[in-house]
Amino acid sequence: MDRPRFVRAGAALALAIAVSGCVGLGPQRLGIERSDYANRLRETGKEQLLLNLVAMRYGDAPLFLDVTSVISQYTREGSLHADVPISPPPNDTNGVIGGSVLLRETPTITYAPLSGDRFARSLLAPIPPAALLAMIEAGWSAGDLFRLTVRSVNGVRNLARSPLFVAGSDPAFIEITTALDRLQRSGGLVLHVERGEHNSFTATASFSRTPSDEDRADLAFLRRALQLPGDGSDLSVIFAAGRTQPKQLALGSRSMFEIFSEMAQGVELPAHERAGRATLGETADQDALPLVRIHSGEQRPADAHVAVHYRGSWFWIDGSDAASKRMFLIAQILLSLNDTSSAAAPLLTIPAG
């Protein structure tokens, strides 16, 4: 090999490796890492919730692990080597030159179990009234939220399937939530929430002064079912098992544990376990539609919204089941809203300089 040409090639390769070491990885990796980690955090959050629902169906306690930090450390190493004879004979073409650049990733993820006071506040305490009312005021379906989170309305109890929370149920509750849904969409019933200091609030439910014929029918039904005054005056919304005054709409809310327990009743047991392994059992209200339909089988489904493997079987929510996906999403949001602790949100650090 021509000596000057060999030296020039080695110098060019060394320069290329040096330049590659001067270019920061941060701008190149930021968009990729943010998308990848966001997708995985979202998917694993869904899988964790579904796994807990299935575990509760089998009588196991729920366990949540919060991601508190994600640190992705990158190191880059470059090397250059050359093998050249010191005194080569004329026209000798022997000689080797080469180099390499190594990029290594070492991610570190920190988890914190939901336990102690945070467990009590997030799962055992009733849903905060302000969170529930804020979602309804923002346009979320009152019917969906009532079916999932409300235990009773003016003493009319929600349908219950979980044996852990034995209580009488009133079939009229579903008709009440359906009427509320229609009135919310038409504007026949409007919720007003005023927030005060120290998480205090006042809420009123106002009826339309010019209701349609369908609205009048729904309002008449609600007045009978909930024993409301017939003068069309505003109602004060309170959170209690029952009302103390005629012009009140008393809502009793569930805890997240109770919500998950009710959702777990929608888990379909595998065929080989339906007459064998014991679960928490069922109540008499089995004619009620489950809040979420969770299927089971031996093979992982091809088109699932979320799927987990538990005790040798696959459990999943079907990707085409819009109603179950909607309830599952609401439960995810409520779980986040119900965590009133001062714990920091997940921190993602990517040193890539």
Q: What is the pLDDT of residues 257-279, one digit of tens each?
A: 999 999 999 999 888 776 655 55
Residue 164 · residue 124 · CB < 8 Å: no
Q: Give the CA count within 13 Å in the CB-facing half-sphere of 182.
A: 16
pLDDT at 2: 53
Partners of residue 191 on adjacent β-strands:
205
Q: How far is it, in rounded angstroms, from Cα 163 to Cα 35?
A: 41
Please give the helix or strand (H or E) that residue 74 lies within, else none. strand 65-83
Q: Which residue has the tokens 């909607």?
A: 326
Q: What is the pLDDT of residues 202-261, one digit of tens each?
A: 888 888 888 899 999 999 999 999 998 877 788 999 888 888 888 889 999 999 999 999
Q: pTM higher than 0.75 for the full model?
A: yes
The β-bridge relationship of strands 201-207 and 235-239 is antiparallel
Residue bearing the bigger pLDDT, 3 or 67: 67
Both structure tokens of 271 = 């065929």
Partners of residue 152 on adjacent β-strands:
157, 252
Q: How far is CA 266 from CA 55, 58, 91, 132, 243, in A?
A: 12, 12, 82, 23, 32
Q: How far is it, in rounded angstroms, from Cα 156 to Cα 170?
A: 6
Q: What is the pLDDT of residues 136-181, one digit of tens each?
A: 888 899 999 999 999 999 999 998 888 888 677 788 999 999 999 9
pLDDT at 49: 95
